[in-house]
Structure 1
Amino acid sequence: MLYASNADEEARVRNSAGKPIAGISVLAVTAIAIGAAMLAAAGVWYLQYQQVTQLRARLSASETRAQLLATQLDEAKDALRTATEGSASGATSAPVAEEDAEEPPEVAKQFCFIKDLTEAGGTYSLVLDYAQMLSGKAAADAAAARGEESPPPNDYFIVNDNPKLRTLQAASGAKVTLYYDGMAEKRSMTIAQFATIFAANRDGKADVPYYAVVSEDEVLSLEEQYLP
C-alpha cells in the first residue's frame, strides 16, 4: 500500500508540474496573435496614411491648377473686353472686306505701231498694231526662221505676224515722249500736241514704233522706241 501511495504521489506531482507549462504555452500563443494583429493594423494604417498623403497632394495640385485657370480666364475676359471696346470705337474706320475691295486694273507695256490717231469731242482714239521687238539670240532665231539676215543688223528684229488691230482711247492727261537727234533730245507733250505731229508725220513720227502703257482698253502713255 505504501508503494502504491508513493506511486500516486509521484503521478500527482508530475501532473501538477505540467499545468504551469501548459499555461505558459497559451499565453505565448496569445501574445504572438496580439502582436501579429497589431502589426497587421499598423500595416493597414500605414497604407491608409500613404493614400491620404497622395490624395492631399493631388487636391493641392488641383487647387493650384484651378487658380491658374481662373487667372487665365480673367485675363481672357479683359482682353476680349478691350478688343470689343476698340472695335466699337473704330467702327467708322473699319477696313473694307476683302471680297468687297476692288482689284486694281492690270497695266501692261506693249510694243506697237500707231496706225491711226483721231479726235472726237476732245477724246483721242488710237488704232494700235501690236508687235514684238526681239534682241540677242531670240532676234537671230526669229530672223533665221523668216529667211532674213541672222544675226540681224544692230542686234534687233521686229516680229509682227498678227494682223489684228486694236482701237483704244487715250486717257485724260496721257503723255507722249518723243526723241530727236537719236536719243540726244527728249520731248514730252500732251496727246493733243502729238496728234498734230502724227497727222503731219513730222520727222517720220507716224512710222516709228512706240511702247504704249495700257490699262483697261485705255492708253495711259506713249514713248517712242528709238531704232538705230
Structure 2
Amino acid sequence: MNDAISPSRYQLAEIGALLAEPARAAMLLALIDGTMRPAGELARVAGVSAATGSAHLRRLLEGGLLAVHEQGRHRYYHLANDDVAALIEALALPRTPMALPDPSGGDRPLRMARTCYRHLAGRLGVGLCDVLLQRGFVLAASEGMRLHEEGAQALVDAGLDAARVQALLPLAGRGCLDWTERRLHLGGPLGVSLTDTLLDAGWLRRSPRGRALSPSVDGLRRLAALGVRWPEA
C-alpha cells in the first residue's frame, strides 16, 4: 500500500464518521447558508441537549468542518469554508438531476434559485454565471475568476450601485459546481459579494425559511437586461 495516500484515506474516513451522526449533520445543514450561530441554537436545531451539542461542535471543529468566531464572551460557529459547504450540499442532494423529485414539489424553489454558502446557486445562479462568462464580463485569471471592467459597467448600466460594483473588481471568484444543475455557478468572494449586492439592491429576495431565493419583478427586468432569464421549471 502506498503510504503517500494513506492520510487521505484516513481523513476521508474521519469526515464520513463526522457526517454519519444525524445531530452533527443537522448542525452543518443549518450553517450551509453562511450564517454564524451560537451553540445553544445549533443544539436546538439538532434536537440534543446543550452538553451533547457542545460535544458535537467540538468534534466538528477538530475535524476542520467548522470554525468559530469569538465576540466578547460569545462564540458563533460557522462552516470552515465554501469547500465544506459544497461537500455538504453535494452529499445532501440526490446524485443526479434526474433523481430529484417532480419540479412541482417542494424542492422546486431550491432548484430554481438558492444560496450555496452565500453565493447564488440553482438554475438562476448557473444562468447568471453563463452570461457573465459568455459575454466576457467575468474572465478567468491565474488567481481566479475576475470581474472585467466591461462587466462592471454592464452591471451599473443594469441598475446596480456604482460604488458597490467597483468594490467587486478586486475580488477573486471561482467556478462552483452546482449539484442540482451539474454546471458552474459563481462562487468564492466575488460570488458572495455579487449575491449580497443583488439582495441589497432588491433584485433578489430571501425566502422566510430556508435557502431559497426569488427575483423581484424589478430584478427580473434588470437581470433580463443583462441577458439572464428566469429559468423555466
- Length-normalised TM-score, structure 1: 0.21
TM-score (norm 2): 0.21
Task: Find the structure with the greater CA-based Rg.
Answer: 1
